[in-house]
Amino acid sequence: MSMYLPIAEMATNPFVIVFFGALVGAMSGLFGVGGGFLMAPILFFLGIPPSVAVSTEATQICAASVSGSLAHFRRGNLDVKMGALLVAGGLVGSTLGVFTFKWLITLGSIDLVIQLFYVVFLGGVGGLMFLESLQAMMRRRAGKTATHKRRHGFMHGLPFRTKFPRSKLYISAILPVAVGLGVGFLSAIMGVGGGFIMVPAMIYLLGMPTMVVVGTSLFTIIFVTGNNTLQHAWFNGTVDLVLAGLLLVGGVIGAQIGVRLSGRFNAEQLRILLALIVLAVCFKILSDLLVGGPPIQFSFREVAGHG
Amino acid sequence: MVKGLAQRITVRLIGGMVLVLAVVLAGLTLSPVSGAQGPDVAAVESKVSVGLFSGKTVVRVFGSTATPDVPIRLELTGPDREVKFTRDVRRFGIKVAQTIEDAPQVIPAIRAELSSGDIPLRREGDALEDALIREGVVIIRPNAIKMEPSGLFFAEIPLPPSAPVGDYKIEIFQEGALRTVAKIKLAEESFSIQQQGFVALVSRGAKDYALFYGLICVLVAVAAGWITERVFRNRR
């Protein structure tokens, strides 16, 4: 059976899309990450045009974050005030990202830029995460407990200091807005929720307690990816509703499997596994960049009156 | 005109599973054409529709020729698309796509060439052509037209899933017949691929009401997320 994707303008096997959606959904249930950084490359690999893949991913991540953050909200693991400031920055950042995306499409270098972003951020985050969890494991072997040092850096001298009761923080309001801005921008360009950048930024930069981090991050991602979806659909015409539906079905099934599996592993093993997956994706994209492809490629440009 | 090539060619096109077509086989009921006044083509109106669950689109072409011993060749040409050919060049160690300036800017989005017999279809050593064949934009099928001794022929052209909507043209030639070099066009037919139903609704909506479409996408996402959470709430 095959199903026609109206915006990607191609027929595809719906079961393949649902399968990969479920696979990535299972990982996000397991690791608590959105999985956009895995899904977008898989969609490229399945032949979906990168611009459609990136935009449609936003729709799926938005849905996943809605259900995720509702669950966290009910358990009280959500700092709405912090989230609102992150969202404010995030909306500006993602709008800038969408227009940069549009500009890069006209330059014809969008694919290269997306790939470079993936290499830099996956490599950086994956590497740090791997080292960190390795250290944590060794510390535990040595019988010490991890100590969390609060550093006093330049960011504590910034103005507009505000109380965040839920996070038990008294920091400048500029910080979450700036984090949101950066995450929103990356999110629009890379077709990811940005959780893999935001979660470390919230822990290490803002110093938020780990308990509220995931819920607040998901809360922010709802608005950032919602905005991405709207703007990509409005200005770039690249959101495929049928593809999004298939990804949603897969993601729902997968997330349930992932949540059930997550009880069987310990957190440290999961973190090392996630770090390795991130590094593997990074390595794959990097090797594609370094190893030459076929001698001549071509791409269809979007033409007025097309379709 | 070459004598002995009086043709009666009827071409009928059938789309994939979703199908199609109103065929007017006008040619069959007419009296035989006398002399060699080129091809006598039946009027054909057909269209291929793309629905949500359309299968692989296969275009079938039927016809007949008075000279079954002369090989024929069929060309299918899709709607034009603007393209950019690039070549990898290394800059700072990573490969960067560089535009090939003297390559064509507009090519058919799909082109298929089929033949009966062993007419060479491929231009050897054409790097651009090779790239198009590799990407499935150009389909080359020598010997893919089944020619009966009676002169009836039949061919199937598998269109790739990426075949875009728009107008397609099918031309049938006789080439090198009676040692003449010029290729003689025997028939020309056209059909169009159109979207229908939900698919047409979505792609028209996305184009003509982009903001509204975007809002619907967001709404779908939020609703899907909310429903998921409600359904699985107690199971977590």
Q: Tokens 């330049």 map to which residue?
A: A154
- The candidate with the shortest Cα–Cα distance to B195, out of A274, A306, A184, A20, is A306
At A20 the pLDDT is: 92
- The token pair at A78 is 């959500």
- Cβ neighbour number for residue B121 with a 10 Å cutoff: 18
Contacts of B80 (CB under 8 A, 6+ apart): B106, B107, B108, B109
Instruction: Give the residue on B whose Cα is nearest the Cα of A231.
Output: B214
Nearest 10 degrees: CA dihedral of A279, A281, A285, A291? 80
pLDDT at B38 exceeding the cut of 50: no
Q: Which residues of A touch B57 (CB under 8 A)?
A: 11
Determine which of A62, A246, A296 to mutate to test the interface with B (most B C-beta atoms within 10 Å).
A296
- The C-alpha of B228 sits at a distance from chain A's nearest C-alpha, in angstroms, of 6
Cross-chain CB nearest to A294 (options B131, B216, B229): B131
At B2 the pLDDT is: 36
Instruction: Give the residue on A whose Cα is nearest the Cα of B16.
Output: A2
The DSSP string of A232-299 is IIIII----HHHHHHHHHHHHHHHHHHHHHHTTS-HHHHHHHHHHHHHHHHHHHHHHHHS---SEEEE
Amino acid at A43: L
At A19 the pLDDT is: 94
Size of interface A-B (CB pairs under 8 A): 200
Instruction: Give the residue on B whose Cα is nearest the Cα of A74.
Output: B233
Are A239 and B206 in contact (CB < 8 Å)? yes
- The token pair at A217 is 């991050």
Amino acid at A152: H
Contact B2, B178 (CB under 8 A): yes
For residues B115-139, average pLDDT: 78
- The C-alpha of B143 sits at a distance from chain A's nearest C-alpha, in angstroms, of 27
Question: Comparing B61 with B218, which gets the higher pLDDT?
Answer: B218
Are B87 and A235 in contact (CB < 8 Å)? no
Question: Comparing B126 with A241, which gets the higher pLDDT?
Answer: A241
- The candidate with the shortest Cα–Cα distance to B111, out of B83, B136, B76, B81, is B76
- Report d(CA A108, CA A302) in Å as an integer: 11
- Report d(CA A245, CA B85) in Å as an integer: 33
Cross-chain CB nearest to A298 (options B56, B131, B203): B131
Q: Which residues of A touch B56 (CB under 8 A)?
A: 2, 11
Q: Which residues of B touch A293 (CB under 8 A)?
A: 88, 95
Cross-chain CB nearest to B217 (options A239, A256, A292): A239
- The token pair at B30 is 């007419």
Q: Which secondary structure element, helix H or strand E, spans residue A220, and what is its range?
A: helix A210-231
- The C-alpha of A171 sits at a distance from chain B's nearest C-alpha, in angstroms, of 31
Q: Which residues of A touch B166 (CB under 8 A)?
A: 307
Q: Which residues of B touch A116 (CB under 8 A)?
A: 94
Determine which of B132, B217, B236 to mutate to test the interface with A (most A C-beta atoms within 10 Å).
B217
At B174 the pLDDT is: 78
- The C-alpha of A124 sits at a distance from chain B's nearest C-alpha, in angstroms, of 18
- The candidate with the shortest Cα–Cα distance to A298, out of B85, B145, B19, is B85
Are A59 and B221 in contact (CB < 8 Å)? yes
At A306 the pLDDT is: 37
- The candidate with the shortest Cα–Cα distance to B198, out of A245, A51, A238, A235, is A245
- Report d(CA A79, CA A83) in Å as an integer: 6
CATH number for the domain formed by residue range(s) B13-78+107-195? 2.60.40
- Report d(CA B103, CA A125) in Å as an integer: 41
For residues B87-106, average pLDDT: 75
Cross-chain CB nearest to A300 (options B81, B97, B233): B81
Are B99 and A244 in contact (CB < 8 Å)? no
Q: Which phi and psi angles does A168 have, rounded to 5°?
A: 55, 50
Burial (CB count <10 Å: 0-12, 13-18, 19+), residue B29: exposed
Share of chain B above pLDDT 90, in %: 7
Cross-chain CB nearest to B94 (options A9, A232, A289): A289
Q: Which residues of A touch B88 (CB under 8 A)?
A: 292-293, 295, 297
- Cβ neighbour number for residue A116 with a 10 Å cutoff: 15
Sign of CA dihedral B14, B15, B17, B18: negative
Using 50, 70 and 90 to split pLDDT, how confident is the model at B22? very low
At A230 the pLDDT is: 93
At A163 the pLDDT is: 82
β B44-50/B20-23 pair status? antiparallel
Angle, nearest 10°, between helix axes B210-232 and B197-208?
Answer: 120
At A87 the pLDDT is: 94
- Cβ neighbour number for residue B66 with a 10 Å cutoff: 16
Angle, nearest 10°, between helix axes B197-208 and A241-262?
Answer: 100
For residues B112-131, average pLDDT: 78
Instruction: Give the residue on B whose Cα is nearest the Cα of A66.
Output: B225
At A239 the pLDDT is: 92
- Report d(CA A47, CA A8) in Å as an integer: 9
Angle at CA A291, nearest 5°, toward A287 and A296?
130
pLDDT at B5 exceeding the cut of 60: no
Using 50, 70 and 90 to split pLDDT, how confident is the model at B223? very high
Are A298 and B84 in contact (CB < 8 Å)? yes
Are A66 and B200 in contact (CB < 8 Å)? no
- Report d(CA A22, CA A261) in Å as an integer: 13
The ipTM estimated for the assembled molecules is: 0.81
Contact B144, A307 (CB under 8 A): no
The DSSP call for residue B23 is E
At B35 the pLDDT is: 34
For residues B59-69, average pLDDT: 79
Contact A120, A289 (CB under 8 A): no
Averages of pLDDT over each 10 residues, chain A, 307 residues: 81 90 82 76 82 88 86 84 93 92 77 82 86 82 59 64 80 88 89 81 83 86 92 89 93 81 74 85 82 65 43
Length of chain A: 307
Using 50, 70 and 90 to split pLDDT, how confident is the model at B42? very low
Domain boundaries, chain A: 3-142+153-290
Q: Among the residues of B46-142, which ranges form H helices?
A: 127-134
Average pLDDT, chain B: 71
